[in-house]
Structure 1
Amino acid sequence: MPRNKKRLWSALPRLQKTWLSETLRNETVGGTLLLISALAALIIANSPLQDWFFELRDSKFGPEALHLNLSLGTWAADALLAIFFFAAGIELKHELVHGSLKYRAQAMVPVAAALGGMVLPAAIFFAINMGKDSVVGWGIPMATDIAFALAILAVVGRQLPIELRAFLLTLAVVDDLGAIIVIAIFYSSEFALVPLIISGTLLVVFAALQRKNVTGWYYYLPLAILIWYFVHESGVHATVAGVAMGLFMNMQKASGEKYSAGDKTLHLVHPYSAGIAVPIFAFFASGVSLQSFEIGSLTSSPLALGIIVGLVAGKPIGVFLGGYLMARFTKAELSKGISWWDIAAIGSLAGVGFTVSLLISELAFKNSEEQIELSVISVLIASLISAVFATILLTIRRRSYASKNV
């Protein structure tokens, strides 16, 4: 092997390992709450309480003059998920400054894996739905649910190398950034230039305050609300505001401090994201009626087939090929501690779409309740299948590592 080849996470710094471990522990709880919320919504939406559920989801509140008289379901998608993407933005910034994305040679493999895991599922969906009105949903199978994926890995893969967990975290945050770019460009309304300029100006103020190490929630909370509002008014999906602010967080540690301001903020925000924002969104997004649903529609509908095949097959193949080809033709390679069989298992885990897939379903088919419901059912089924496959593969890999340590 050439000496100048960079190994991927061959020796993570102790502080980075601690940060990763804390993130994984938090995501386990978040993933569990997410699953409970989705199951509760499905049960209620198909029970005698279904009328109450749909009335609650569609009930509106907010000032009409500010164009914020929105339904509870829309508030969950536009406002609460902005908190989720704010946390995701901070995680990405952490990786860029302190983690695996700091060094290009270390970043290339998981970034390429993430890109492959987005492009191939989208291409599969597009090929299956070409020429049909459902083709606009091509972005649905692109997403990986970071909460579910990390939760499953934390439970099933406890004996797996920390480097593998770092690979998944990097892949997931890059995947989130790709998803928000797709949403901003392809699934936003017509752009309004003035609000967009105002939101950009406010983001510059936000970044300047961070650079000067200004502290105090009373500065940032009103500023964050204004940024969110003007992004919402601009026609760009409001969740973009969250990830933009996350990327502008200060990740440099002050003298004598163990954690940066950005990491401290993530520690404070994460419980609200994983424990409140995402579960509430999942509750309203997952509640679909199955009374008129027929299992045969999954095999006869291009929309359903595109989502299921894209997530279950396209994701793992795309992740594996993207990472492998990057390692094959560049100086980056995997650490000796992990193998491509591990990456294949992680690729299957990336097929758990859920949160962002449900969001894109609502944005793509906002004028068709029937297509939204079919999309939601397909995402749930595909995510379940991917989770089962990943659990089996990760269990096999865990036993393989355990046998080597005997």
Structure 2
Amino acid sequence: MGERRNDGLMALFFFVVGLEIKRELVVGELQDRRAAMLPALAALGGVVLPAVLFLLVVGGGPEARGWGVPLATDIAFAVGVLALLGSRIPAGVKLFLLSVAIVDDIIAVGIIAVAYTDSLEHGWLLAASAGLIVVAAMRRFGVASILLYVPVALFVWYATLHSGVHATIAGVVLGLMTPARPVSGRDVLGDLQHGLHPISAFLVVPLFALANAGVDLRGGALGDAAGSSVAWAIVVGLLVGKVVGIGGATWLALRLGIGTLPSDVPPRLVWGVAALAGIGFTVSLFIADLAYTDAVQVTQAKVGVFAASTTAAVIGSGLLVTLTRRSRG
């Protein structure tokens, strides 16, 4: 029951992520290939280097299965921390962070689908595909009522859950299939984002955190985590890997003339954005539960995620405030 609850919560979470991705791809920052190139390369650097560093720290064995834990950025928490800094931070910083995090999560979703999927049940997979075809047909005939899509979407999620492909993929695919432009005069995507984003941010994420983030630190668990290669690999991946990967890839791309930053974002602020991207939290906790079955390793991974995400929030905020002052000074 707990696993089904997690799958349901995260399918809704990733559906909202899918909506954000679709809007950015069709009418947002990522529709312009040149504008999209820089955050795409930055995100790629922020995925590859954390994975490499994680594997270098753990050195192989069953611990290596958690290589996906430090890859994803928690969009809600990273943007939330940025919002706390207020108007003192240029608006373009949020745009760049959001673009990087969205590409980052596209890669993370692909990794979940490939690396953390069990054996496939082809009958259920065909059923899920049939449900998606029904959704596409409804779109083709101009069905704009969101309520009519709900039972089909639930069927797609249920079939995907039993297919062996992780059910969160159903959420992303359904989000990407949502029309970004008005249907019969109705902004379906906008209505869904407006209605579901608060539920995802203020209900789904906290419920998931309460259900999964609890770490029993009794019995020397904290000391075990401090001496654990898994915990340290996650910390190094989310802190060093994200900062150097995103910051380095952005610096190199700008030097080569590939892509541009928003006009109000000096290049030095990228390092603050890169640090905030080390806030993995929700997605990292989710992948940790997929990667490990041993309770001790799960606890070690969660301690690493908490430590790294908290540190990333503090360092990223400090860098952005300090570097913004210097830029204006």
Unpaired segments of 5 or more residues in structure 2?
Answer: none
AA at the equivalent of 1:178 = I
Which of 282, 297, 315 is residue 389 of structure 1 equivalent to?
315
> Hey, what does 1:78 align to over in structure 2?
7
Query: Comparing 203-212 with 305-314, which one deviates more in the overlay?
Result: 203-212
Which of 83, 86, 92 is residue 154 of structure 1 equivalent to?
83
> Hey, what does 2:23 align to over in structure 1?
94
Relative to structure 1, is the Cα distance of residues 172 and 214 closer, same or farther in structure 2, using a 3 angstrom cutoff? Answer: same
Relative to structure 1, is the Cα distance of residues 189 and 213 closer, same or farther in structure 2, using a 3 angstrom cutoff? Answer: same
AA at the equivalent of 1:388 = V
What is the alpha-carbon distance in structure 2 between the residues aligned to residue 210 and residue 137 of structure 1? 38
Shift of 1:157: 4.6
1:331-353 per-residue CA deviation (whole Å, 9 max, x = no partner) reads: 42224421221111000000011
Q: How does 1:254-403 map to 2 (within 5 A)?
A: 260-293=187-220, 295-365=222-292, 367-400=293-326, 403=328
> Hey, what does 1:205 align to over in structure 2?
134
What is the alpha-carbon distance in structure 2 between the residues aligned to residue 185 and residue 375 of structure 1? 21
Unpaired segments of 5 or more residues in structure 1?
Answer: 1-69
SS of structure 1 residue aligned to 2:119: coil
Q: How does 1:14-25 map to 2 (within 5 A)?
A: none
What is the alpha-carbon distance in structure 2 between the residues aligned to residue 101 and residue 87 of structure 1? 17
Q: Which has the larger radius of gyration?
A: 1
What is the alpha-carbon distance in structure 2 between the residues aligned to residue 386 and residue 157 of structure 1? 18
What is the alpha-carbon distance in structure 2 between the residues aligned to residue 112 and residue 132 of structure 1? 30
Q: How does 1:8-157 map to 2 (within 5 A)?
A: 70-71=1-2, 74-157=3-86
> Hey, what does 1:167 align to over in structure 2?
96
1:264-307 per-residue CA deviation (whole Å, 9 max, x = no partner) reads: 11111112211211110111111110002355434532111110
Asked if 2 retains the 8 angstrom alpha-carbon contact of 1:109 and 1:324, the reply is: no
Shift of 1:148: 0.8
Asked if 2 retains the 8 angstrom alpha-carbon contact of 1:93 and 1:246, the reply is: yes
Shift of 1:123: 0.7
Give the total of aligned pairs: 329
Shift of 1:391: 1.3
- Structure 1 runs of 4+ off > 3 angstroms? 293-299
SS of structure 1 residue aligned to 2:260: strand
What is the alpha-carbon distance in structure 1 between the residues aligned to residue 152 and residue 299 of structure 2? 36
Shift of 1:330: 4.2
Asked if 1 retains the 8 angstrom alpha-carbon contact of 2:235 and 2:307, the reply is: yes
User: Percent same amino acid at aligned positions?
Assistant: 38
What is the alpha-carbon distance in structure 2 between the residues aligned to residue 116 and residue 308 of structure 1? 17
What is the alpha-carbon distance in structure 2 between the residues aligned to residue 196 and residue 324 of structure 1? 42
Shift of 1:323: 2.0
Relative to structure 1, is the Cα distance of residues 187 and 254 closer, same or farther in structure 2, using a 3 angstrom cutoff? Answer: closer
Relative to structure 1, is the Cα distance of residues 331 and 348 closer, same or farther in structure 2, using a 3 angstrom cutoff? Answer: closer
Root-mean-square deviation over aligned CA pairs: 1.7
SS of structure 2 residue aligned to 1:265: helix
> Hey, what does 1:194 align to over in structure 2?
123
